[in-house]
Amino acid sequence: MEKITGAEALMKALIAEGVDTIFGYPGGTIMPAFDALYDYTDRINHVLVRHEQGAVHAAQGYARTSGRTGVCLVTSGPGATNTITGIADAMMDSTPLVVIAGQVAIGMLGTDAFQEVDLVGITQPITKWSYQIRRAEDVAWAVSRAFYIARSGRPGPVVLDFAKNAQNELTEFAPEQIDFVRSYLAFPEPDPGKLKEAAEIINGAEKPLMLVGQGVELGGAREELISLVEKADIPMGSTLLGLSSVPSSHRLNMGMLGMHGNIAPNVKTNECDVLIAVGMRFDDRVTGALAKYAPQAKIVHLDIDFSEFNKNVKADLCVLGNCKETLRLIGEQVKPARHTEWVESFRPYAEKEMEEVIKEELNPGGEKLRMGEVVRAVSDAAGPEAVLVTDVGQNQMSAARYFRYEYPRSIVTSGGLGTMGFGLPAAIGASFGAPHRPVCVFMGDGGFQMNIQELGTIMEQKAPVKMILLNNNFLGMVRQWQELFCNKRYSFTPMVNPDYLEIAKAYGIPARRVATHSELAGAVAEMIACQGPFLLEACVEEEAHVMPMTPPGGAVDMIMTSKDDK
């Protein structure tokens, strides 16, 4: 068998895993891999980002929209450490990634060599697996194992630390296919007894409520979930990451859970008699005060990750397994039911929210634009196939609340880590992961500037990303908390901003600024009609609030609909 370098073996191994897109940035210790990539650009598309953090977030956007594993290729030292935030983000949000970083040659390890850093040691707590490739002959095995671990079970990030000597060494290559790792149970078999018990609990419920997490999306379990809730007539609430698991228009979809979620599902969490949580981790932003969270309910928790059981909320029944399978098997045993009075009881809360919050947000009476107004205008214009990408902050909560979802994998946002700067590079990745779908990214003026250099990537790739900058000249979410809970002591949240249209112009990106209601529809139509990237700067009300809101430390049903409720 002909011998090839470890670097070329990497390319062949990636192709064997079906990789077609890599997000990366070259450097000294990963140079052999990039040299090998030069001969494979007809099969692997490399997207040159402007910062390694951008590479990881782009890979996340690609993974979240495509359902495939995102791949990054970076150098050692600062190139590797620049990926840490994205790796931690992917771990929190269960996003399958393989991050390949260069490393100094093995003989130089421990000498404080130029751009040497202990990447394996740094990333072990925030990855599913972190491994150093020291020999060229280990490349095929390591790559196959990395992809299997990243995408199986509860997905997550894997790091391969690729020593430079291993990239240059010669080895025989044959692709490997790993589908089993000792001590790692990727796809646990559900317990038939627990499936039966779960069905019995649901059959006995008078006021059931289904909590839909991202696990439904990751498990491809939309049909199974909808079949079960329609059969048993169970209203649903979704976590932030689970929003597109069910169409917004479904009659049993009662909206978003959590701190800035919809009133009805939050209130009803503390009124239901059975709470069925699927593929979610009972995040504190969903539960509020744990001591006051659903004390009256019998809780059934379905998840593929055993470590999530009883971590935050103690469940009466835990069902381990892939929710695509567990929902189907439970659904087969659930009896048809109608909970008409219970389902109708959500309506008054929805009407209250419409009157006290939504009407003013979508049709504000003042001169200033509101975030929700802009989001809904873009959502309606972009159509049901659009993918929503967000940054973090008020823009994120407003976008999540007022965008409409029809198809799976339609929301890409940083949930667990709440990473400002996520939106712009994630939207780039989403445009590669879902090339036939419109990609709309909403950002605040703070988050946009954190990775604004990725406009260069958009320029080079001509990525057709529709960028909506909700500019309120503040770090909006922190400012909201400062107004409500710190007596308006705006400590370092006002922003002095550049001329974003001039910046877009420098990158050759069409742009437009709007500040009035009458301008909005025309500007949005212009943006959507543009074949390539477009920046729409919406100058929104500076001191507006995202409501409703559960105050920090409050019970999930302690809900503010205005700043006067505090």
- Which residues belong to the active site? 52, 114-115, 164, 477
342/210 Cα distance (integer angstroms) = 13
DSSP state of 283: -
57/451 Cα distance (integer angstroms) = 10
DSSP H or E segment with residue 535: strand 534-539
Residue 111 φ then ψ, to 5°? -105, 5
Residues 6+ apart with CB under 8 A from 274: 201, 202, 204, 205, 207, 208, 209, 297, 298, 299, 300
The beta-strand segments (E) located in 304-431 are: 317-320, 387-390, 411-412
Residue 387 φ then ψ, to 5°? -105, 130
Six token digits for residue 303: 């998840």
What's the chain's Rg over C-alpha atoms?
24
Residues 6+ apart with CB under 8 A from 271: 207, 296, 345
Cα–Cα separations (whole angstroms), residue 266 to 210, 216, 279, 407: 12, 20, 18, 24
Six token digits for residue 38: 């030069």
Residue 363 φ then ψ, to 5°? -135, 65
252/265 Cα distance (integer angstroms) = 11
Contact between 444 and 495 under an 8 Å Cβ cutoff? The reply is no
